Structure 1
Amino acid sequence: MPTVVRALLIALLLTGLPIGAAVWLSDGAEPTPRSEPTPYESIPLEDYDTTVVDVARSGFCDRISPDAVSAALGADAKDNTSYANGDKVELVPRETDVAHEYGCTYVGPHGTEARAWVFAPPVTAERARQLVDEATGIKGCRRQQPAPAYGDPGVALVCGYAKDDFASYRGLFGDAWLTCSLGLPRSTPEQQLLDRTGKWCVAVAQAASGG
């Protein structure tokens, strides 16, 4: 066999060996398992350090876990709405106004409702203390003391209406005033209402902080 031809055959043989080995190894290798998404796990408010949370004064509702909404309502939401700063929305029943906040509302069966919103303008510590005083003066509401911290300053309320009780946590995170609330049937024990609201508010704070 001529020397040149022999050299070409050897070169082709040497080139093919790594390719063949790679194919053989890939055929025999176990497929890499796909990582499963981490299941949602609610966090009690008393176990969540709100002093290190930096909330942005911007939209956040698309980052709230649907599982967190379902856990708060006790079922999947039947309806949900969200709004941004400057939108015309029904902030209270039968009254439409221009919103100066970013927020969302989730409605479940039997009138259950979960809400969250953050003021668009910055809030100072002095103004936050005024907001705490204003909240404690809302008719039909009573302040919960002691209560897990939700911002600084912050306040926890339980408000009674015709058929439902609403619990809410609201407080200052940096210069952002964040509020979250949960409404459940009046037959719900108050401590259960507060516990579920606290977990809902943790999910809200996590979404609003991007964490």
Structure 2
Amino acid sequence: MSDVRRPALATALTALLLLGATACTDDAPKAPAAAPSDPATPLEDLDTGSLVIVRDAFCDRVSPAEVEAVLGAEVDTSTSYDNGQPAQLSDRVKDVAHEFGCTWTATDGTVGRAWVFAPPVTPARARLLVKAAPDEAGDGCTRAGDAADFGAPSVAVVCDGPKRHEASFHGLFGDAWLSCSLTLPADGAGAGSTDRQALLDRTGTWCVDVAQAAAAGSG
């Protein structure tokens, strides 16, 4: 499997935000009641300003059909973790999580991830996260300045190298810092194009699903 890493943004800078955490159970994402949107909504068509994101577990509200649609293959494994729980935050970092997150891996190695910080984030700290995102994501990662907004402020990052093809969006919704990413196999075995814009568009659609699931708990 390719060397996929969730951008280290949530690992390197979460320490700025955290005062404590409450341990929760480690359950894989459950099947939600909501049906997948059809057709898929591009990120630029989503009114992110109207969404109220809950800083809580949301993985069970992400539709399995939407997950498989964005991965382009059947889901092989899925994991989730809660605030205060030991978790594998990246390929190289295992620590106590101060976020709620989930990962879905397809049979072809494509990986979809989503996570929201448990502590509230101020606009000033969000700007720090935006600035740090490309460097924290790793080598070969750059900011996609022409990407659609994902909260305010927000940032999109594309990583294109021999070990991974990855796009991610991170943004502030009220006081909730929400992130989502899509990583394709480095060997090109995954479904879909590794073209930069195509990957950004596909990840944006995934992030729409994530944002709607994370906002569903606000009602």
Deviations 1:68-126 (A, max 9, x none): 11111101210000000001011112432000000000001232100000000000000
State the shift of 1:146 in Å: 1.4
State the shift of 1:39 in Å: 5.6
Name 1:17's counterpart in structure 2: none
Name 2:79's counterpart in structure 1: 81
* Cα separation, 2, equivalents of 1:144 and 1:158: 6
Segments of 5+ residues of structure 2 without an aligned counterpart are 1-33, 189-193
* Cα separation, 2, equivalents of 1:148 and 1:183: 19
> Secondary structure at the residue paired with 1:192?
helix
State the shift of 1:161 in Å: 4.2
Bigger RCO of structures 1 and 2 (CA < 8 A, at least 6 apart): 2
Segments of 5+ residues of structure 1 without an aligned counterpart are 1-36
* Cα separation, 2, equivalents of 1:76 and 1:110: 8
Q: Is 2:37 the partner of 1:40?
A: yes
4+ long deviations beyond 2 Å: 37-40, 136-140, 160-164
Q: Which one of the candidate residues 193, 212, 216 is aligned to 1:210?
A: 216
Matched residue count: 175
Over aligned residues, Cα RMSD in angstroms?
1.6
* Cα separation, 2, equivalents of 1:98 and 1:49: 33
User: Structure 1 residues 72-81 or 97-106, which shifts more?
Assistant: 72-81
TM-score by length of 1: 0.78
State the shift of 1:38 in Å: 5.7
Name 1:201's counterpart in structure 2: 207
Percent sequence identity over aligned pairs: 54
When you count helix as a share of all residues, which structure comes out higher?
A: 1
Paired amino acid for 2:210: V
TM-score by length of 2: 0.76
User: Structure 1 residues 119-128 or 108-117, which shifts more?
Assistant: 108-117
